[in-house]
Amino acid sequence: MRSQTHRPGKIPLSGFETVGTIVITYTFPDGLQSSIHPNPGQHYQGTSRVAYLPDTPEGREVHALLKKCFDQKLTFTIGTSITTGLGNCVIWNGVHHKTQVSGGETNFGYPDPTYFARVKGELKAKGIF
């Protein structure tokens, strides 16, 4: 998990155009499943994901919670991709991220007025608060 904060206007989020943007990049290479995975000894397909948060007090709070979740290895798991149908790959593990800068809730983007409350609830359900 890498994070970088960009100045206002560089990567504007719909509804947060006047503040900076926190960009989170997750990168996983292909690998071999261990005993904690569903199919030990089998290969899994890695992935890269990018997520966005506004650089606001609540955005920074959610960023810290997402970091804690990632450090506890709760953000991703190995499973079957809903998007591609491929098995044995790195997939999200129930904590929603905004992967688009616009398009609203149905397109995983902003604006989404209930996102912060929802993601904090998902994190709390995993013991992250």
Structural domain boundaries in the chain:
2-125
Q: What is the Cα–Cα distance from 55 to 112, expressed in whole angstroms? A: 15
pLDDT of residue 60: 98
Are 18 and 59 within 8 A, CB to CB? no
Are 70 and 62 within 8 A, CB to CB? no
pLDDT values of the chain reduced to their tens digit, one per residue, 129 residues: 999 999 999 999 999 999 999 999 999 999 999 999 999 999 999 999 999 999 999 999 999 999 999 999 999 999 999 989 999 999 999 999 999 999 999 999 999 999 999 999 999 999 999
Q: What is the Cα–Cα distance from 103 to 99, expressed in whole angstroms? A: 10
**Among the listed residues 36, 49, 41, 40, the one whose alpha carbon sits nearest the alpha carbon of residue 90:** 49
pLDDT of residue 99: 98
Q: Could you tell me the pTM of the whole model?
A: 0.95
| Fold of the 2-125 domain | Enolase-like; domain 1 (3.30.390)
Q: How many CB atoms lie within 10 A of CB 19?
A: 16
pLDDT of residue 84: 93
pLDDT of residue 10: 97
pLDDT of residue 7: 98
